[in-house]
Amino acid sequence: MGFEGRILSDRGIRTLFGIDAVVLQRSLEEALSAGCSGVVSIGTAGGLDPALAPGSWVVGRSVITPEAEYPCDGPWADCLARLLSGARAGVIAGVDGPVATVQAKQALYSRTGALAADMESAHTARLAARYRVPFAAARVVIDPAKRALPKSALVGLRRDGSVDLVPILVELGRHPGQILSLLRLARDAAQARGALETGVDRLGARLGLPE
């Protein structure tokens, strides 16, 4: 989501974001090749654990994909969990697309034990391991495990993470029954945004990376 990048960049933190995996990976490789102290995957995620409400923080101990599991830097994860009051620490699932239905969320949770899922952490973890730099992940739940994502919320996502209203309005015109679900998602997104802003302020400019 565009607001994730704005929250971080407005605080002077170098940020790479977007839902285009190829562009994201290229940008990450350029940044890692130039050298850095560490890389953190931070933003929103879909909830898989039914106990996690919108706005809940999840700190990664590892990121799991169908092919591999990537450990997060232990001291960095400990620092994130300490600074983000009430955060849950555990596995984050890396996925190629939104986990949109309740059934899909339940299946992924049962298969992996992951607390949440997102589309960026796996790419980041893989490249951090290749370049041998510390990696961490901290994500805020935006859509809880018990709720499906309406199709209208997905059709309007541009490749850079911003929102195009036209296809959303077209989809709602065809299927107006989605309006209530979309309004509920907007409320959940507002909670996630507030939690992300508060959390980033707590973490500071180094995003919790130990000295």
What confidence tier does 125 reach under pLDDT thresholds 50, 70, 90? very high
Average pLDDT in the 184-206 region? 93
- Give the global pTM: 0.87
Q: In whole angstroms, what is the distance from residue 132 CA to residue 43 CA?
A: 22
Q: How far apart are CA 72 and CA 85, in angstroms?
A: 19
* Domain CATH number, residue 56: 3.40.50.1580
Task: Indicate whether 104 pLDDT > 80.
Answer: yes
Tens of pLDDT, residue by residue over 164-184, are: 777 777 777 787 877 888 888
210 found inside a domain: no
Does a structural domain hold residue 16? yes
- The verdict on residue 211 lying in a domain is no
> Is residue 165 in a domain?
yes
Which structural domain range is residue 139 located in? 2-203
Per-residue model confidence as pLDDT tens digits over 66-100:
999 999 999 999 999 999 989 999 999 999 888 99
Surface-to-core class of residue 205, CB atoms within 10 Å of its CB (0-12 exposed, 13-18 middle, 19+ buried): exposed
Q: Quick check: is 147 in a domain?
A: yes
The Cα 68–Cα 122 span in angstroms is 9
